[in-house]
């Protein structure tokens, strides 16, 4: 069975600094997608960034980038120039290409941003 592990329950970063959130996953499949979702307090979950496993190049979306290490089954999220609005729960998620599309989530990392 596929699993997603986020080993950091909470993280803190100073405004304008850089923070990295960790995620590891376990799967026997070779073709899959990985996602980072952001869930602000009492607000809906939104997609931050997506990575296709067959792509070697790490995905980047503005201040957000990932470090995808397929052999190590690691998928970390780097947030540069952190802003107060980045404070939220961050969930790493996995989806197998052959699935019906359901996501498998980690337990999340709560990110605090200090002014």
Chain contacts with other proteins (rule: CB under 8 A)? 4, 32-33, 35, 37, 43-47, 50, 91, 93, 95-108
Question: To the nearest whole angstrom, how small is the minimum distance from the Cβ of residue 84 to other proteins?
Answer: 21
| Cβ-count burial 71-80 (b if 16+ within 10 Å, e if not) | eebebbbbbe
Of residues 17 and 107, the one with the C-beta less far from other proteins: 107
Of residues 7 and 18, the one with the C-beta less far from other proteins: 7
Question: To the nearest whole angstrom, how small is the minimum distance from the Cβ of residue 71 to other proteins?
Answer: 22
Of residues 98 and 115, the one with the C-beta less far from other proteins: 98
**Cβ–Cβ under 8 Å, residues 46 and 115:** no
């Amino acid at each position: 069975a596929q699993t997603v592990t986020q080993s950091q329950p909470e993280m803190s970063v100073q405004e304008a600094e850089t923070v990295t959130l960790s995620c590891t996953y376990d799967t026997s499949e070779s073709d899959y997608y990985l996602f980072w979702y952001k869930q602000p307090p009492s607000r809906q979950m939104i997609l931050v960034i997506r990575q296709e496993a067959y792509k070697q190049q790490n995905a980047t979306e503005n201040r957000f980038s990932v470090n995808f290490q397929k052999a190590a089954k690691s998928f970390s999220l780097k947030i540069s120039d952190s802003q107060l609005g980045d404070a939220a729960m961050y969930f790493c998620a996995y989806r197998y290409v052959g699935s019906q599309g359901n996501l498998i989530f980690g337990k999340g990392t709560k990110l605090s941003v200090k002014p």
